[in-house]
Structure 1
Amino acid sequence: MGLAKLLRANAHHGAIPPFKRNLLLREFIPSRGFSLQAMNRSGLDFVVFGEAYLLRKRNAFGQVIEMEHMPAINMRVKVDGGFVMLMPDGSRIEFDQEEVEHILNYDVQQNIYGIPDYLGGLQALLLNESATLFRRRYYNNGAHVGYIFYSNDPNMSEKDEEELQAQIAGAKGVGNFRSMFVNIPNGGEKAIQIIPVGDFQSKDDLEKVKNITRNDIIAAWRMNPALAGIIPENSAGFGDIEKIDRVYTNNEIRPICQMFNQVNDTLREDRRIDWKDPETANDSTTSGKESQVK
């Protein structure tokens, strides 16, 4: 549940999983045994949680003819073998080992559950979220000073001072900066001094934190900046986007495709899935004909 909630903590972290899932769907050729919708849900589960669960549906002869998606967030592995699905009403549905296809990203510390690759970037993600929330609260609480009205007029009457205070206080709207009135009769030039003490809300500090943590997040996802919606900081940009997409798909997406080929070991031969040919995937005409044939 924690990993699922973190998808809403940051713009980049929340956008990258469905983007990778979309690239996976682009390469996917569905079959009667594994539908596009099942791949859509299972692919997102795998990217977010590092694992996906599929229910093996059999015919009267015991052959697996269809894979049905099972939400990974509700699935648990039983100690004595098999699986359990935790239902919203608190009930449990148990499954035998042979009923469930478990596709997982291997973890060197245990082989029971899959694990996502981006866990090393969670601290950067949380810091990015905290910086944004701090800035929002800073503006919303209205407890900070917009300007100081400083007067050193010894002839100002108490009534004039009260009227000025009332006007300044009344100028504050909801969520705006508060202003302060100070009257020091015969005060010197430096009667009031404002000495900043590491103001985190300043534009430069916030921008540094946001940019550094953003880079850590996309690095944890192994996402190319050109594909992550990052605005280039130089006029040259990131280069040829089609080449970047092709290299990224070959190195990041197709290995995931190979992991999902695990379902073909169980599905009946005429129900197995397939993937687009890398040599013709960028040719829209060829890909269209291939999809029709499949």
Structure 2
Amino acid sequence: MSESIPPDTVPATTNNTRMEAFTFGDPTPVLEHSEMLDSFECWLNGRWYEPPISFPGLAKSLNASVHHSSAIYFKTNILTSTFVPNKFLTRDAFKRFALDFLIFGNAYLEKRTSRSGLLLSLAPALAKFVRRGKELNSYYFVTGWQQEHEFAAGSIFHLIDPDINQEVYGVPQYLSALQSAWLNEAATLFRRKYYKNGSHAGFIFYMTDAAQNQTDVDSLRKAMRESKGPGNFRNLFMYAPNGKKDGIQILPVSDVAAKDEFFNIKGVTRDDVLAAHRVPPQLLGIMPNNTGGFGAVEPAARVFARNELVPLQAQFRALNDWLGQDVIQFTDYELSTMPTGVTS
């Protein structure tokens, strides 16, 4: 009967052991939006066309990055504040309409008329659930399997942010930044789980000085064990008579590298998202990392209003051409005016 090898025994390596080297293939992205949109058309299920990109996915991605959602809500709030409400389109209805357009690249208004054909109101239809029919002037509201409602023909106004691959639906302009938004979310979730788990290797307490006796070592071990839980991060005193300069060392294992990488990922992905939305960082309350800062706020706001807000307002005015009357009107974006009842 052969002797069993003790579990702590590590077998010695043989002379046949040799080093091997190999390389991985080229990096392959998990999702390639450009190739997806080039390869797939809007699929027709017999009654309506499916969007070229997942609308539920865009809705979930809204909260993937704080800068992504903040930039969208920032544009929505400015558009709403400059919109002139009227009896056909209220301010609340316009805000829903604008929010859908900035998130999905599609927005819908249902024209509700009287029996005589006069316009009564314009009600927003949630873009997440609206599908365009086989006849492009027909629209369906689809919330689930066999749960659809067909709108009356010609009653839906469809505002589209144009796509270069198809003309049935629009697509949002921030698609190129979704990878960065998802990476930002993944870094935050990983960091949160990293701290919540608590079982990661924080550091190695390395001691080479000879202790006076085993009791000193046991006391040090007990003090470190009791430093966990509520009231942790306490100071620890260690006395080593005749100790060497480097007799006691704290060797970090992974926290330093992970911390640096986390900040780099958060910073780079933030810049990508803001570049896609074309919103100056100082308008979102972001603090600069350098001493030079981002520059004055007012000039940045004026440039943003001219280069981004005015073109957006022009897109929404397409409703006036469809209706044949001016329902969408905006006031000028002024920084000097103060709301009624607000004093400086």
Superposition TM-score tier, normalisation by shorter sequence: 0.7 to 0.9
- Alignment pair present for 1:213 and 2:269: yes
The equivalent residue for 2:117 is 62
Asked if the contact 1:33–1:267 (Cα under 8 Å) also holds between the matched residues in 2, the reply is no
Asked if the contact 2:142–2:149 (Cα under 8 Å) also holds between the matched residues in 1, the reply is yes
- Alignment pair present for 1:105 and 2:105: no
Asked if the contact 2:203–2:251 (Cα under 8 Å) also holds between the matched residues in 1, the reply is no
- The 1-side partners of 2:297 and 2:117 are apart by 47
Quote how far apart the aligned CAs of 1:283 are.
5.9
Quote how far apart the aligned CAs of 1:136 are.
1.7
Asked if the contact 2:206–2:249 (Cα under 8 Å) also holds between the matched residues in 1, the reply is no
Deviations 1:128-172 (A, max 9, x none): 122222222222211223441535538744x76556544433332
User: What are the residue-to-residue correspondences of 1:109-188 with 2, within 5 Å?
Assistant: 109-143=165-199, 144-148=201-205, 150=207, 153=210, 156-157=213-214, 164-173=220-229
- The 1-side partners of 2:72 and 2:307 are apart by 16
The equivalent residue for 1:284 is 337
The equivalent residue for 2:148 is 92
Quote how far apart the aligned CAs of 1:22 are.
1.0
Residues 208/133 of structure 1: CA separation in 2 closer, same or farther (3 Å cut): same
The aligned length equals 272
- The 1-side partners of 2:179 and 2:303 are apart by 28
3-12 or 50-59, larger mean C-alpha shift: 3-12
TM score, norm. by length of structure 1: 0.79
Quote how far apart the aligned CAs of 1:92 are.
1.0
Residues 171/244 of structure 1: CA separation in 2 closer, same or farther (3 Å cut): closer
The equivalent residue for 2:28 is none
- The 2-side partners of 1:238 and 1:217 are apart by 17
1:41 corresponds, among 75, 88, 96, to 96
Residues 171/264 of structure 1: CA separation in 2 closer, same or farther (3 Å cut): same
Unaligned runs of 5+ in 1: 178-187, 289-294
Asked if the contact 2:65–2:184 (Cα under 8 Å) also holds between the matched residues in 1, the reply is yes
- The one-letter code of the counterpart of 1:259 is Q
Report SS of the residue matched to 1:201: helix
- The 2-side partners of 1:211 and 1:224 are apart by 15
Asked if the contact 1:227–1:245 (Cα under 8 Å) also holds between the matched residues in 2, the reply is yes
Greater per-residue helix proportion: 1
Quote how far apart the aligned CAs of 1:200 are.
4.0
The equivalent residue for 1:18 is 73
Quote how far apart the aligned CAs of 1:198 are.
9.7
- The 1-side partners of 2:230 and 2:124 are apart by 49
Report SS of the residue matched to 1:117: coil
Unaligned runs of 5+ in 2: 1-55, 234-243
- Alignment pair present for 1:264 and 2:320: yes
Deviations 1:67-96 (A, max 9, x none): 101111111112344111123686111124
Asked if the contact 1:64–1:266 (Cα under 8 Å) also holds between the matched residues in 2, the reply is no
> Which of the pair has the greater relative contact order for Cα pairs under 8 Å at 6+ separation?
1
- The 2-side partners of 1:27 and 1:121 are apart by 27
- The one-letter code of the counterpart of 2:78 is L
Report SS of the residue matched to 1:77: strand
- The 2-side partners of 1:168 and 1:14 are apart by 43
Asked if the contact 2:208–2:248 (Cα under 8 Å) also holds between the matched residues in 1, the reply is no
- Give the share of equivalent positions with the same residue, in percent: 32
Larger Rg: 2
Report SS of the residue matched to 2:258: coil
Asked if the contact 1:56–1:67 (Cα under 8 Å) also holds between the matched residues in 2, the reply is yes
- The 1-side partners of 2:209 and 2:247 are apart by 11
Asked if the contact 2:202–2:255 (Cα under 8 Å) also holds between the matched residues in 1, the reply is no
- The 2-side partners of 1:236 and 1:215 are apart by 17
- The 1-side partners of 2:220 and 2:78 are apart by 63
